[in-house]
A and B are shown apart, each in its own frame.
Chain A
């Protein structure tokens, strides 16, 4: 199975900050990576697919990059509604494993 490691596990930031979350795959997965946002008590929401393509309706302050084994999710200017937990998921092969999550909290 492909292992997916996210860092950091926890991030404290302020409104307006630029933040970056990293996801590393244990082997090359081309661009088959998705990012999700989950708020407490809610289902996850697809933000980015194919490593860098924004899902319809997702604000442009979110961006993704990377290919192969290293990927990043960047939020250019944090808004209050962005404080949540973020997960990456590799879609190269089954099982489509998730990263362990990054909890983004208000400083």
Chain B
């Protein structure tokens, strides 16, 4: 069964760092495009980042220079390293499999990040 499970969320102070993980099963992360999307409380969806099969990465302007997407092929796991966190980064963070020109066809259940002092 194809599945994504995010972990690593929690309460973090402004300026802090956090690493989110997304463990995949039923498919190979490194053979796919993988993305992170977030949703602030009561708000819409915001695409954050993608990593291509070959390792190329793209970021939304809102997180560029602060967030880093990566993967560990041996663990079939995607990561999002977040630093210099701000109050406005408070959200549910989803990882998803991206199919080119199709969209995000597999989603995890999300992990909640709360940035607050």
Q: Give the tally of cross-chain contacts (CB within 8 A).
A: 59
Minimal Cβ-Cβ distance residue in B for A96:
B47
Max chain A Cβ within 10 angstroms of own Cβ: one of B47, B94, B102:
B102
CA distance A45 to B99 in the complex (A): 14
Assembled-state Cα–Cα distance A56/B44 (Å): 24
- A residues in contact with B37, CB < 8 Å: 44
Q: Are B103 and A46 in contact (CB under 8 A)?
A: yes
Residues of A within 8 A of B105 (CB): 46, 49, 55
Dominant secondary structure at the B interface: strand
CB distance from B104 to the nearest CB of A (A): 6
Q: Is the CB of B44 within 8 A of A43?
A: no
Asked whether, in the complex, the Cβ of A34 is within 8 Å of the Cβ of B45, the reply is: no
Seen from chain B, the residues whose Cβ lies within 8 Å of a Cβ on chain A are 37, 44-47, 50, 58, 60-61, 94, 99-105, 107-110
A contact set with B: CB distance below 8 Å? 1, 32, 34, 36, 38, 42-46, 49-50, 55, 87, 89, 91, 94-101
